[in-house]
Amino acid sequence: AQSVTQLGSHVSVSEGALVLLRCNYSSSVPPYLFWYVQYPNQGLQLLLKYTSAATLVKGINGFEAEFKKSETSFHLTKPSAHMRDAAEYFCAVSDLGSSNTGKLIFGQGTTLQVKP
Amino acid sequence: DSGVTQTPKHLITATGQRVTLRCSPRSGDLSVYWYQQSLDQGLQFLIQYYNGEERAKGNILERFSAQQFPDLHSELNLSSLELGDSALYFCASSPDGQGNQPQHFGDGTRLSIL
């Protein structure tokens, strides 16, 4: 069965600093991985996805993530944080199992704080 | 705007009551997923429908049920409500429910049980 672990429930960076949000997955088959962002009182917005094409995936709002099979990781990065990036970020893996239904298994989320 | 519409945005009700949450998927999407977000459990998959048929079930309580109608909108019914059912309930949709397709989420229904 697939699972996701997000290291660090809270990450604080200064505006303009590098953002690194960590995600490790467990999967017995090649995974499909996603990063979502949730702003207060809103739903989840897709940032980017990995579906076995290029290992470096570029998403919206300047975010990107690199799939590293040897490390079972899919960390999210952004070179320069902006105040508007403050939100909760979720890493998710598609539970392929035996039926490939696409249901998502989420990590516990990481709250990103951006300090001026 | 994700294109997924959920109503109502907020629901306040009492223990023992029954409520219905509604979801309209993105135009063209055949698959609908329901998730529950709570502080203690995080985001948990409840149930999936594809073109009117139940396709996958997660940790959904027996007091909860769902259906997807011919026009592809879906409803999640929660009955005999308990305090612990207070949570944010999300609906998401994807074109045909395959694992490599991203899901697009609505803004959720916040359910408060008093």
Q: For residue A96, what is the nearest residue in chain B, using CA coordinates?
A: B99
Mean pLDDT computed over every residue of chain A: 92
Q: What pLDDT digit, counting tens, does each position of B76-95 carry?
A: 999 999 999 999 999 999 99
Residue B52 — φ and ψ, nearest 5°? 95, -10
pLDDT exceeds 80 at position A98: no
Q: What is the mean pLDDT of residues A85-111?
A: 88
Q: Which of A15-19, A54-58, B10-14 is least confident?
A: A54-58
Q: For residue A93, what is the nearest residue in chain B, using CA coordinates?
A: B99
Q: Cβ–Cβ of B45/A90 closer than 8 Å?
A: no
Residue A102 gets the label, from left (phi > 0), alpha (psi -120 to 50) or beta, of left
Most confident of A20-29, B24-33, B95-104: B24-33
Report the distance separating Cα B74 and Cα B43, nearest Å.
19
pLDDT above 70 coverage of chain A, percent: 97
CA of A101 vs chain B CAs: smallest distance (Å): 6
Judging contacts by C-beta atoms under 8 Å, the chain A residues touching residue B43 are 90, 104, 106, 109
Q: What is the mean pLDDT of residues B17-31?
A: 97
Report the distance separating Cα B46 and Cα B56, nearest Å.
9
- CB pairs < 8 Å spanning A and B: 70
Q: Which of A59-68, B9-18, B52-61, B95-104 is least confident?
A: B95-104
Tokens found for residue B78? 């929660």
**Sorting pLDDT into bands at 50, 70 and 90, what band is A2?**
confident
pLDDT exceeds 70 at position B73: yes
**Sorting pLDDT into bands at 50, 70 and 90, what band is B99?**
confident
- Give bridge partners of residue A40 from the DSSP assignment: none
Judging contacts by C-beta atoms under 8 Å, the chain B residues touching residue A46 are 102-104
B108: CB partners within 8 A, 6+ apart: A43, B6, B9, B37, B88, B89, B90, B91
Residues A93 and A101: beta-carbon distance below 8 Å: no
Q: What pLDDT was estimated at residue A54?
A: 85
CA angle A77, A81, A85 (to 5 degrees): 90
Q: What pLDDT was estimated at residue A102?
A: 83
Q: What pLDDT was estimated at residue B72?
A: 97
**Sorting pLDDT into bands at 50, 70 and 90, what band is A28?**
confident
Residue B83 burial class via C-beta count within 10 angstroms: exposed 0-12, middle 13-18, buried 19 and up:
exposed
End-to-end alpha carbon distance in chain B: 31
Q: What is the 8-class DSSP label of residue A93?
A: E
- Give bridge partners of residue B13 from the DSSP assignment: B113
CA of A98 vs chain B CAs: smallest distance (Å): 11
Q: For residue A100, what is the nearest residue in chain B, using CA coordinates?
A: B99
Give the three-class secondary structure for B99: coil
- The more confident residue out of B45 and A53 is B45
Tokens found for residue A7? 């290291």
Q: What is the mean pLDDT of residues A87-102?
A: 83
